Amino acid sequence: MLSEKTIEERLYLEKISQDVKGVRAQMKKEDNLVTLSVRWSSAAAILLFSFFSIYLVQLDTRSIIEEKCYTNYTRSSQSENEKDPPRLEAALQQINSENYEEAVEILNDLPESDHKDWFLLNASLGLEDYDQVDQLMVKIQNDEEHLYFNQIDNYLLYDIYLLKIKRKIFN
């Protein structure tokens, strides 16, 4: 028969064996959670990259100009007496027709105004003259009284930055 000491040793070994099995099960469970979180993180990164790529591919100067140019002018021109509305309208038509060089020529002959700055920015954007775009954005941003001051927001800055990157990548 087994001695009391042997029985105690076996019981102690059985308890340790169960404790080890519990620790191993816990470790396996934690490994599964780590693996799962790595997979979810990878999926999220791929999804973000995909959305960024799609946004970058569809981003073009025309969409920015269409979004910002016409609606802002029509709202603001109703409340402000412009010195030369027919030529501003002509410049706007040239921008909407994607004749950016013509618009720049018309705008360069006009006296200084907030509308001129904004249309010139849009025409320069259409021509992908980012140096001129940067100069005009700085001019507008530095004048809090500028009619288009609030139009130079982070989204516009981000979109123009992405257009510059896109131009470097694809040209």
pLDDT of amino acid 83 = 55
- pTM, two decimal places: 0.63
Helices (DSSP H) in the chain: which residue ranges? 4-58, 61-77, 85-96, 100-108, 114-126, 130-141, 154-170
How far is Cα 2 from Cα 120, in angstroms, rounded to an integer? 100
Mean pLDDT, rounded, for 134-145: 94
Instruction: Give how far Cα 50 sits from Cα of 26, 71, 158, 162, 168, Å.
Output: 36, 31, 18, 15, 20
Asked whether the beta carbons of 166 and 59 are under 8 A apart, the reply is: yes
118: number of Cβ within 10 Å: 24
How far is Cα 144 from Cα 139, in angstroms, rounded to an integer? 10
Give 51-75 pLDDT, tens digit per residue. 888 888 887 777 777 776 654 444 4
Q: Is the pLDDT of residue 77 over 70?
A: no
How far is Cα 116 from Cα 159, in angstroms, rounded to an integer? 22
pLDDT of amino acid 74 = 47
Residues 6+ positions from 56 with CB-CB distance below 8 Å: 162, 165, 166
Q: Calculate what percentage of the chain has a pLDDT beyond 90.
A: 33
pLDDT of amino acid 78 = 43
Q: Which two tokens stand for residue 102?
A: 């013509």
Q: Calculate what percentage of the chain has a pLDDT beyond 70.
A: 88
How far is Cα 103 from Cα 118, in angstroms, rounded to an integer? 12
Give 113-127 pLDDT, tens digit per residue. 999 999 999 999 999
